[in-house]
Structure 1
Amino acid sequence: MIDNATPIETLFERAKDYSKSTIELFKLNAIDKSADVVSSLLARLAVIMTVVLSVVIINIGISIWVGKLLGEVFYGFLIIGGFYAFIALLLHIFRHQWIKHPISNSIVKKMMKEKMP
């Protein structure tokens, strides 16, 4: 069999195959990075939800205990509620420094992490 393709046709065919392979590799890398970020965030979310549920139950117990010490149960809930209002104010004031920047940096690090061959 004789190959009748000219060198230019062969070059164009190889360039076409290379560009298809490069695009496919880019898609697969994007999918890998996205899956890594999403799975990491979901794992952290599961841990955070468990901690939040535990903290809520513990705070109900502390509120009842403080209320009994003060003579009325609702006093304990008011004190614990005031404490969390103060924490919420601090989080609002420092939200960029304590929350936004660390989360953004974590996502960027995950996206920029190179896979070992």
Structure 2
Amino acid sequence: MIDFVAADEDIRSLARWLRDEDGLTGRVGFTESAPRDGEMGGTIEALSVILGSGVAKQAVTSFFEWLKHRRTADQVKILVKRPGRTDHLELECGSATEADAVLLSVERFLNGTE
């Protein structure tokens, strides 16, 4: 699973962007915190993408395409988790120029060659 953590407005914008990608249809959802006392619903904590064959590369590539279209360069945290493992990869990025390095790190982590 890949989680993207950022400001609420950015997460919603990224969700719309990723949901328009053919290969990501049905794999994109929000991770929400439990509602606190007096609240009707929880707070969005992250945008999650469920991984499958080729999905990690497409999700990260699409994320950087989204970044290119952003007017601001706010930092987005990317958390990558392998199924059945407790370790994770955590990266922060805010520029489309980081795409190649981030994609390489994600692929190495998922392949167990980090």
TM-score (normalised: structure 1): 0.24
Between structure 1 and structure 2, the one with the greater Rg is: 1
| More contact order relative to length (CA 8 Å, sep ≥ 6) | 2
TM-score (normalised: structure 2): 0.24
More helix by share: 1
More strand by share: 2
